[in-house]
Chain A
Amino acid sequence: EAGVAQSPRYKIIEKRQSVAFWCNPISGHATLYWYQQILGQGPKLLIQFQNNGVVDDSQLPKDRFSAERLKGVDSTLKIQPAKLEDSAVYLCASSSAGLDTQYFGPGTRLTVL
């Protein structure tokens, strides 16, 4: 079974630029999560989708971050404009509806200069 796919793996941008990350979950997984992992910390949930609906986006900085999952499969996370403090690894995870185990992709390492 293929795992969670993410791209790009690495991205370097300057502050105030925009960036987008893509995630394709495990086939059949209805729930998709985006996490931010700052160096030296545990992952922090940004947003959770159930199919194409948002379940929880309470920790998403909505003034600059947005995410969508239009067809209930793959998802895009966007930052516009980026700040220095957005430098982090952005992890995507998915889980099967009704089950609790989340499976993570390799992440996108974002560096904002």
Chain B
Amino acid sequence: AQSVAQPEDQVNVAEGNPLTVKCTYSVSGNPYLFWYVQYPNRGLQFLLKYITGDNLVKGSYGFEAEFNKSQTSFHLKKPSALVSDSALYFCAARKAGNMLTFGGGTRLMVKP
């Protein structure tokens, strides 16, 4: 069975500092990996995905994520955090033909 773990319920970072939101997955075969962001009272907004190719994926709003097959991780990163990045972040994974499985979410708090 597929599963996604986001080990941190909340990540706190100061504005201008780099941020990392962690994600590990359990998917047999080659995984398709996604990051979504959710602002209050809004639906999920797509940030980036990894399907194949370069392990470093660049996405919207300056976010990037690194696929690490040996560690089964897909951590979300940004070099310099903004207060407006404060939101709920979800990692999701699937293999071809399967349903998308989401992690429990990580709340990112960026303080001025």
Q: Which residue of B lies closest to A9 (CB)?
A: B41
Count of inter-chain pairs, beta carbons less than 8 A: 48
The residues of A that contact B32 with a CB separation of less than 8 Å are 100
Total interface residues on B, using CB and 8 Å? Answer: 21
A41 touches B105 (CB 8 A): yes
* Given known contacts A41-B104, A41-B105, A42-B102, A91 and B34 CB-to-CB distance under 8 angstroms: no
* Contact A103/B99 with A42-B90, A42-B104, A42-B105 known, Cβ cut-off 8 Å: no
B44 within 8 A of A: yes
Q: Looking across the interface, which residue of chain A has its beta carbon closest to that of B32? A: A100
B51 lies within 8 A of A106 (CB): no
Which secondary structure dominates where chain B touches chain A?
Answer: strand
Cross-chain contact A44 with B102 (CB below 8 angstroms): yes
**Complex interface bits, A26-51 against B, C-beta within 8 A gives 1, otherwise 0:** 00000000000000111111001000
**What's the least CB distance linking B22 to chain A, in Å?**
15
Q: Interface size bucket, A side?
A: 20 to 34
The answer to whether B42 touches A101, judged by C-beta atoms less than 8 angstroms apart, is no
B4 contacts across to A, CB distance below 8 A: 42
Decide if A56 is an interface residue (CB 8 Å cutoff): yes
Query: Do residues A102 and B100 form an inter-chain contact, with CB atoms below 8 A?
Result: yes
The reply to whether A4 and B34 contact each other, CB–CB distance below 8 Å, is no
Tell which of B44, B51, B90, B104 touches A100, judged by Cβ atoms closer than 8 Å.
B51
Bound-complex Cα distance A93 to B99 (A): 13
Instruction: Report the bound CA distance from A40 to B36 in whole Å.
Output: 15
Whether A104 contacts B102 by the Cβ 8 Å rule is no
In the complex, 13 of the A-B residue pairs with CB atoms within 8 angstroms, ordered by the A residue number, are: A40-B104, A40-B105, A42-B4, A42-B103, A45-B99, A100-B49, A101-B34, A101-B49, A102-B46, A104-B44, A104-B46, A106-B43, A107-B43
**CB-CB nearest 3 A-B residue pairs:** A42-B102, A104-B43, A104-B44
B binding-site residues for A, Cβ under 8 Å: 4, 32, 34, 36, 41-46, 49, 51, 90, 92, 94, 99-100, 102-105
